[in-house]
Amino acid sequence: MIAYSAPGKIILSGEHAVVYGRPALVAAVNKRLKVKLAPAKRKEEKTPEWKQIESVVFEYLNSERIDFKIKDYKIDIESDIPVGRGMGSSAALAVASVACLLEFFSGKRFEKELVNNLAYKIEKYFHGRPSGIDNSASCFGGLIFFRKEFEFLKVISKLNFKIPDNIQSRLYLVDTGKPKESTKQMVDFVGSRLNENPSRIRLIFSEIERASKQMVVAILKEDLELFAKAMQKNQDLLERLGVVSKRMSQRLKVLQDLGAYKITGAGGLQEAVGFVLFLDLSGEGERFLKDQGFSWSRLKFDQQGLVRL
Ligand code: MEV
């Protein structure tokens, strides 16, 4: 039996702009997806998604003339990453599955870089035009400053510092529910806004880039106020981009009185916007979230990324 596990992620700053070559800051979180493959006597019926994952792996093994044996197997997937809420569940599936299949068929273990490149191909099948940030966070873990320069060149800088305690201890994940729109639809929506009004949208992307860099500085300097400022600035810009539904935008505004907040991931147009990152500066956050009927959890980060079990 071969098993790998990969974490989910949250984008601290820079979602959407990252699709267009701007940098973003992402962190792997301590929610994981586990894939187990065990030899089987009979062929199992596979989903179209799984067939796609398998074909990417076979294509790679064939193109590199790596020896491998085709064998029947049973798949077992377990996950505590919420699906469709901006926490990178599909990326974690792609990363853990690629690692498992490569080893199952070839008997060899592969570098994370290679697993990440193949997982990116799968993400493109799932989401159309992803930046590659989700699979990179899941594969490498930790805190990553990510920038896609070209389709074939992504700068994935794993930062050698962590989110300091004075910030982490005030961070919450607030669940607004599963957006009606998929990540692909949200990315397409921003694409159409960019076509309609390139100069305005590019200006928003430039300001998002500034907020993302400000957030890196805030983390490095352990500057809570600067972190809150960068976070709220990023939220305002995402609202201007149109990826936060009017309804949620109004409901969430109350959180600003207690600190700062932003959506994390692709957002939503009609109602729910997935998970929202909330920084409580007041010390009243938990009570307030409860009174307002929000569902929330504490946020913990992951340093390991892809792990062989
Ligand atoms: C999705 O987690 C983040 C987006 O920026 C899309 C992407 O980068 O692939 C919305």
Residue-wise pLDDT for 201-246, tens only, equals 999 999 999 999 999 999 999 999 999 999 999 999 999 999 999 9
CA distance 112 to 140: 7
CA distance 170 to 286: 10
CA distance 177 to 243: 15
Spacing, Cα 224 to ligand 1 middle (Å): 25
- For 242, left (φ over 0), alpha (ψ -120 to 50), or beta? left
Q: What is the DSSP letter of 264?
A: -
Contact 25, 142 (CB under 8 A): no
What was the pLDDT predicted at 85? 87
Spacing, Cα 65 to ligand 1 middle (Å): 33
pLDDT tens, N- to C-terminus, the chain (309 residues): 999 999 999 999 999 999 999 999 999 999 999 999 999 988 888 999 999 999 999 999 999 999 999 999 999 999 999 998 889 999 999 999 999 999 999 999 999 999 999 999 999 998 888 999 999 999 999 999 999 999 889 999 999 999 999 999 999 999 999 999 999 999 999 999 999 999 999 999 999 999 999 999 999 999 999 999 999 999 999 999 999 999 999 999 999 999 999 999 999 999 999 999 999 999 999 999 999 889 999 999 999 999 999
Q: Which of 10, 12, 15 to mutate to test the pocket of ligand 1 (most atoms within 8 A of CB)?
A: 15
What was the pLDDT predicted at 98? 98
Burial class (CB in 10 A: 0-12, 13-18, 19+), 257: exposed
Contact 106, 68 (CB under 8 A): yes
Residues with CB under 6 A from ligand 1: 11, 15-16, 18-19, 86, 130-131, 133-134, 183, 186-187, 265-266
What was the pLDDT predicted at 135? 97
* Shortest-distance atom of ligand 1 to CA 264: 2
Minimum CA distance residue for ligand 1 atom 2: 265
> Within 10 A of 48 (CB to CB), how many other CB atoms are there?
7
What is the chain's alpha carbon radius of gyration, rounded to the nearest angstrom? 20
What was the pLDDT predicted at 126? 87
Q: Which two tokens stand for residue 282?
A: 């007041």
Minimum CA distance residue for ligand 1 atom 8: 131
* Shortest-distance atom of ligand 1 to CA 134: 2
CA distance 21 to 150: 8
* Shortest-distance atom of ligand 1 to CA 86: 2
Q: Which of 10, 19, 263 to mutate to test the pocket of ligand 1 (most atoms within 8 A of CB)?
A: 19
Contact 170, 261 (CB under 8 A): no
Write out pLDDT tens, residues 108-141: 999 999 999 999 999 999 888 899 999 999 999 9
Contact 233, 207 (CB under 8 A): yes
CA distance 88 to 276: 14
Spacing, Cα 150 to ligand 1 middle (Å): 16
Residue among 29, 25, 24 at smallest CA distance from 7: 29
What was the pLDDT predicted at 157? 95
pTM value is 0.94
CA angle 225, 228, 233 (to 5 degrees): 125
What was the pLDDT predicted at 151? 87
CA distance 296 to 176: 9
Q: Which two tokens stand for residue 226?
A: 């600067």
* Shortest-distance atom of ligand 1 to CA 133: 8
